[in-house]
Amino acid sequence: MKIDDSLIEKLERYLMDSMNLEERTLFQKEINNSEDLQEFIEIYNQIDNFEDDSKWNMYRGNNKKLKHAASLFNNKETLEFSQKLKDFKNNYSSKTPTKKLSWKNIAMYSSVAASILFMFYTVFFQTQSLNDIYKQHNTWNELPSLSVKGETTANKKAKLEKLFLSKDYNATIKLAKKLIANSKNTEPNILLYLGISQMEINKHKEAIKTFDVLINSNTIDNHKGYWYKAMVYLKTDDKINAKKVFQKIVANDYFKKKQASKILKKLN
């Protein structure tokens, strides 16, 4: 199996848990049908589960590093050694092994395997800026769709979603403000589209105000505002406030608690 750029992108999003449910399900099937891909993921998981992670950094989602790791994985010597490890594993775990393996061989393979793991670890786990962390989570795949058949307002909301998906953020902001002004109730989803659009065009103070409106509302989704407010702090390299908001998300089991917990480990 050749790990190309397309697969690198999938791996990066898979490892960072930034795929939506459909994407993850499809990629999991791809993993299940590829022994080489399973091995690559297994190496990552073994590294990520080192017992004393206080001395290590988490995987940072650096695309260049991931590509370099893939090139090492595709290296002829690595692939040959990988096959030896597979043969060793099959022989060692077999109930009726074809030949007796000495502890010397076991120690040798374990030592070299550890070296391979460390090689991948040093490639994968690098220091990363807050803005890099932000870029790993700004796909906005989790935003609810606004497309609903029927009334005129619903059609305008669908138009708002279309503008947002086309990355016409200025037009999105203009329409979102109009819809909010004409609504008698707080519109949490429109506030999300508005705040994210403001963030995307670097109107960060306005974005924070928008997310605060959502947070202070009595809507069932008001807690989602904390996640997006934290995204603003990541993008603007405000570590202190980012940590405060992520800590609040984790402590109160708010929207994206799992992702917030992982980011906090990177910020500590």
Reported in sequence order, the residue ranges of the chain that DSSP labels E, i.e. its strands, are: none
Q: So what's the pLDDT on residue 16?
A: 74
Spatial separation of the C-alpha atoms in residues 40 and 148, rounded to whole Å: 42
CB-CB contact of 210 with 189 (8 Å): no
Q: So what's the pLDDT on residue 245?
A: 97
Q: So what's the pLDDT on residue 72?
A: 54
Whether pLDDT at 49 is above 80:
no
125-147 pLDDT, tens digit each: 445 688 888 988 888 988 988 87
Q: Is this structure's pTM higher than 0.75?
A: no
Which distant-in-sequence residues (6+ apart) come within 8 Å of 235 by Cβ? 130, 131, 134, 138, 199, 204
Name the pLDDT band for 36 (thresholds 50, 70, 90).
confident
Which distant-in-sequence residues (6+ apart) come within 8 Å of 80 by Cβ? none
Q: Which domains does the chain have, with CATH numbers?
A: 5-127 (no CATH), 133-267 (1.25.40.10)
Average pLDDT of the chain to the nearest whole number: 77
- Nearest residue to 191 via CA among 215, 210, 172: 210
CB-CB contact of 124 with 44 (8 Å): yes
Spatial separation of the C-alpha atoms in residues 244 and 234, rounded to whole Å: 12
